[in-house]
Amino acid sequence: MSDLAYLTIAEAAELLRAKKLSPVEYAKALIDRVEKHDKKLNAFIRFTPDKALDDAKRAEAEIVRGEWRGPLHGVPYALKDIVDYAGLPTTAHSKILKDNVAASDAVVTQKLRAAGGVFMGKLSTHEFATGGPCFDLPWPPARNPWNREHFTGGSSSGSGAATAAGFVPAAIGTDTGGSIRNPATMCGVVGMKGTYGLVSRRGVVPLAFSLDHVGPLTRTVRDNALMLDLIAGHDALDPGSVNIACGAYTAELGAGVKGLRIGVIRHFYTRDMEGDAEMVAGIEAGLKVLSGLGAKVQEVQTAPLGEYAACNRTILASEAYAIHEKWLQERPQDYASLTRERFLSGAFVRAADYINATRVRLKMTNAFHALFSDVDVIVTASAMDPACRIDDAEELDRTYARQARAPFNVTGSPALSVPIGFSRAGLPLGMQIVGKPFSEALIYRVAHAYEQATPWGEKHPSLGN
């Protein structure tokens, strides 16, 4: 069971297509693992073993008939519970949507079902994808598989936990200020926020319309690229969707980094905000690996981290309040206290502040994109600290904002978090690789070269008995 739990999508696809592994056998192994261990981690809000077995049986019958749908055919996956799956509740981890049953699939769900994926269930999130881990909600918060007393990162908390724990090889998360890359960093997995508009958000509970992204969390870079291949594409009914040729994200994985120009934004984690010494050392070691593989590493400068953070915060608060205003007026008691506090802050953002933030955003975005005339990709911090304890409210509040992910929601740039080792306490460390718009294939190329040169992907948490 442990061996099947940590199969990559690419490995599983090879075995399944060759009929050396049964989709039903695979699904049963992961179902058993979830049933045995998730009571300690709370990764799932709604576990759906019956649906998984139905999907697995259908996938097996198709494979027997020679009907191969691609690398996800017969492979388990799960969805953050703000993503619609027809006939199941989409709760957003909130009492407010406790009985909200989805009438149809989100676009991303449609694509994963069409690819033959085996649906395992809906995953924990922070309430409405904001706030933080709360203990005054109908469901408990997800916990970190590397140490269950510690935070998973969020808001795609269950997606990070389930992937790291070997419950599923892939999960879907969302990212408005870093919510795919945060749990990827904290849980030691790979998380991609693609270019704004690359993946449809239709059928996903919104947090902030102009900042929201949907993307995959996986245990390897190749798997992440395979997942993005499946879910990317234009959706005429999503106003933010971009009509651009996309896909083939695995095509450059083996090309290496020799001759590539890699910029590093050090001032984010050394001057603008002083990162934890172990996190900083991990990033610098990662840069040495890339340099040793033949990349040319050079320092680059952009706007101070605080300016990006203020811009993101102003836009997010305004747009989130616009979405939640009616419920905040009619059902304020049904939010967790932390979520309510976060959303109510948007009521005090003036229209002038919002407009000015959008103007500043455009200038910052253009200036940031101009950096790519001199470099191919950029490396910087994701989180400034390893995961803190989940029951330490003061430390959670302090460290949650200590991050360099929000700048790339402001700019809409593709950004990926990749594992870079562990702290002395055994908690994962991660760094970001960022590119110009629609350069996901190049980001994956750099991340894959780093991953192949380091041992971190071979390590998995011990969940005990």
Residues in the chain predicted with pLDDT less than 50, given as ranges, are 1
Catalytic residues: 80, 155, 179
Task: Check residue 1 and give its pLDDT.
Answer: 46
Asked if the structure places residue 336 within a domain, the reply is: no
DSSP 265-328: --HIIIIIS---HHHHHHHHHHHHHHHHTT-EEEE---S-HHHHHHHHHHHHHHHHHHHHHHHH
Q: 176-185 pLDDT, tens per residue?
A: 999 999 999 9
What the block records as the tokens of 414 is: 């593709």
Q: How many CA atoms lie within 13 A of 163 on its CB side?
A: 35
Distances from the Cα of 69 to the Cαs of 38, 117, 367, 420, in angstroms?
30, 9, 42, 33
Distances from the Cα of 230 to the Cαs of 77, 110, 273, 290, in angstroms?
13, 10, 37, 28
Asked if the structure places residue 17 within a domain, the reply is: yes
Asked if the structure places residue 431 within a domain, the reply is: yes
Task: Check residue 396 and give its pLDDT.
Answer: 95
Asked if the structure places residue 314 within a domain, the reply is: no
Under 8 Å between Cβ of 131 and 339: yes
Asked if the structure places residue 124 within a domain, the reply is: yes
Task: Check residue 131 and give its pLDDT.
Answer: 82
CATH of the domain at 52: 3.90.1300.10
pTM to 2 decimal places = 0.97
Asked if the structure places residue 375 within a domain, the reply is: yes
Total tally of structural domains belonging to the chain: 1
User: Sheet holding 296-299: strands in order across?
Assistant: 44-47, 118-123, 76-80, 170-175, 213-218, 190-193, 415-422, 428-434, 377-381, 261-264, 296-299
**Element of type H or E holding 17:** helix 9-17
Q: 371-395 pLDDT, tens per residue?
A: 999 999 999 999 999 999 999 999 9
Under 8 Å between Cβ of 172 and 216: yes
Task: Check residue 2 and give its pLDDT.
Answer: 53
Asked if the structure places residue 132 within a domain, the reply is: yes
For 178, counting Cβ atoms within 10 Å of its Cβ (0-12 exposed, 13-18 middle, 19+ buried), the class is buried
Task: Check residue 464 and give its pLDDT.
Answer: 83
Asked if the structure places residue 55 within a domain, the reply is: yes
Please give the single-letter amino acid code of residue 117.
Answer: G
Q: Which domain holds residue 176?
A: 2-236+249-306+355-458
